[in-house]
Amino acid sequence: MGHPSGRESREAVQSELPPGQRLQKGWPVTHYGPVPKFRPERWEFRVFGATADGDKHCWTHEEFSALPYATVVADLHCVTKFSMLGAEWGGVPATTVLELAPPAPDVTHVMVWAEYGFSSNLRLSDFMSDRTIFATHKDGELLTAEHGFPLRLIVPHLYAWKGPKWVRGVEYMTADRRGFWEERGYHNIGDPWREQRYSYQEEPGDGPEL
């Protein structure tokens, strides 16, 4: 067909972007509120709620850092329409957390909790993806404070607000409940390929009543 090569390569890049997104050069910082100070002696990662054994599971920073390290190459899509492609995220896969602290059989959703009470809800099926990862590193380097150090969640197949920075824990839930942005006008599921940006786009069954 013979497109000029410049145009062809732009189209190749565009085809990797979900609808309505544009490619961002560099890595902007996007969040609500201040950047929390990391205090290692006070930090713990907690899994609580409907666990299989009914107990809370806690890791100190040292213990969590000693869990097996894995990497996932994934894009980041912000609902405000910029995307960053092809980052390598390093850390602890969500599947590892699920193995070490299994949910009760009736768990359907999780709430991921971060500093200052920020939260985001996910279907267990989204959390269970083998590409969902609690990241400590990006492209081989420790995360910076403003990008979520010491720990942030990356859910590659959902908009980036579904991945809290400064994560402190996971609550296993037997019914869905809205997180911080999901209560404030963003879509309960947040699939960028279906452009599920806002809660007014939700269809019956996508989320709890607002």
Binding region for ligand MTE (CB under 6 A): 27-32, 78, 114, 118, 147-148, 160-161, 163-166
Residues 2-31 that bind Mo ion (CB under 5 A): 30
Neighbours of 85 (CB within 10 A): 15
Residue recorded with tokens 């107990």: 55
Query: Closest separation between CB of residue 160 and ligand MTE, Å?
Result: 4
**How many residues bind to Mo ion according to rule CB under 5 A?**
5
The nearest distance, CB 189 to ligand MTE, in angstroms, is: 15
Minimum CB distance to Mo ion smaller for 56 or for 194: 194
Q: Which stretch binds Mo ion (CB under 5 A): 67-75, 77-85, 134-142, 189-197?
A: 77-85
Radius of gyration of the chain (CA): 18
Measured from the CB atom, is 27 or 48 closer to ligand MTE?
27
Span near Mo ion by CB under 5 A; candidates 36-44, 45-53, 147-155, 156-164: 156-164
CA distances from 124 to 6, 75, 111, 188 (A): 42, 21, 9, 13
Buried b (16+ CB within 10 A) or exposed e, 140-162: eeebeeebbbbbbbbbbbbbbbb
One of 17, 35, 67, 78 touching Mo ion (CB under 5 A): 78
- In the bound state with Mo ion, the residue whose beta carbon lies nearer, of 149 and 161, is 161
Give the one entry of ligand MTE, Mo ion, none that residue 31 binds, where binding means its C-beta sits below a cut-off of 5 to 8 angstroms depending on kind: ligand MTE
Among Mo ion, ligand MTE, none, residue 192 binds (CB under 5-8 Å by kind): none
Q: Choose among Mo ion, ligand MTE, none what residue 179 binds, the Cβ cut-off being 5 to 8 Å by kind.
A: none
Residue closer to ligand MTE, measured from CB, 51 or 77: 77
In the bound state with ligand MTE, the residue whose beta carbon lies nearer, of 71 and 102, is 71
- Binding region for Mo ion (CB under 5 A): 30, 78-79, 160-161
